[in-house]
């Protein structure tokens, strides 16, 4: 079984989204400021164009991803990525209610209503020996609180948003310490940081 990982692009003042879901154009500039093209499986998300240093890191990491876990909010916010996540793996959506237009699970999306533990367990079944990535601040917080998380990745970008959402939100049981950084990679307009969760 692989690892359970979370991560996000983060501003210098610690936000993964600005007030009222703003700031993504500033946070995600690094996805389009380089010379190396990384394909996207989503019809609504164009290929990424990132620096060589970023590409070397993410190609390796993304190849090890077997499934994703996201919340219903991110699923709705992205309009289900046009039907397929850009990373081209099955996405497990934790939700209180399945969308009306998705009566059955398929290779694109699986819906779980039984909580974060069940969502991660289902993603691990789908991923096999590969890693599971938990995406979105609320999902990351729930995963960390439940003791399910192994690693955290931060893509730190040179912007200050002044407010918004943080990666772990209103985390219970703080402070929480991590090991590392176990990796630091300097891309163009982004510094990639990796940490291990102390268990």
Q: Is the pLDDT confidence value at 155 over 90? A: yes
Pick the more confident residue, 1 or 67: 67
Q: How many residues does the chain have?
A: 199
What's the whole-number average pLDDT of the chain? 96
Q: Is the pLDDT confidence value at 199 over 90? A: no
Give, in order, the Cα–Cα distances in Å from 14 to each of 46, 78, 82: 27, 22, 29
193 — phi, psi (to 5°)?
-120, 135
Q: Is the pLDDT confidence value at 61 over 90? A: yes
pTM confidence score: 0.94
Q: Is the pLDDT confidence value at 55 over 90? A: yes
Pick the more confident residue, 68 or 136: 68
pLDDT digits (tens, 9 = 90+) for 92-136: 999 999 999 999 999 999 999 999 999 999 999 999 999 999 998
d(CA 132, CA 121): 10
Give the count of beta carbons closer than 10 Å to the beta carbon of residue 45: 16
* CB neighbour list of residue 193: distance below 8 Å, 6 or more residues apart: 153, 154, 155, 156, 180, 181, 183, 184
196 — phi, psi (to 5°)?
-100, 145
What is residue 28's DSSP assignment?
A: T
pLDDT value at residue 136: 82
pLDDT digits (tens, 9 = 90+) for 25-40: 999 999 999 999 999 9
């Amino acid at each position: 079984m692989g690892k359970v990982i979370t991560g996000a692009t983060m501003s210098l003042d610690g936000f993964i989204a600005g007030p009222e879901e703003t700031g993504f154009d500033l946070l995600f500039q690094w996805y389009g400021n380089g010379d190396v093209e990384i394909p996207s499986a989503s019809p609504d998300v164009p290929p990424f164009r990132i620096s060589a240093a970023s590409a070397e890191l993410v190609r390796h990491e993304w190849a090890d991803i077997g499934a994703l876990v996201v919340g219903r909010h991110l699923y709705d916010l992205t309009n289900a990525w046009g039907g397929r996540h850009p990373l081209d793996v099955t996405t497990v959506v934790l939700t209180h209610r399945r969308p009306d237009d998705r009566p059955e699970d398929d290779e694109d999306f699986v819906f779980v209503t039984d909580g974060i533990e069940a969502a991660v367990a289902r993603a691990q079944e789908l991923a096999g020996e590969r890693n599971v990535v938990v995406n979105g601040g609320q999902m990351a917080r729930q995963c960390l609180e439940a003791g399910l998380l192994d690693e955290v990745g931060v893509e730190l970008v040179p912007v200050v948003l002044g407010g918004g959402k943080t990666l772990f939100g209103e985390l219970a049981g703080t402070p929480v310490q991590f090991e590392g950084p176990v990796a630091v990679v300097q891309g163009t307009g982004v510094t990639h940081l990796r940490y291990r969760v102390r268990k």
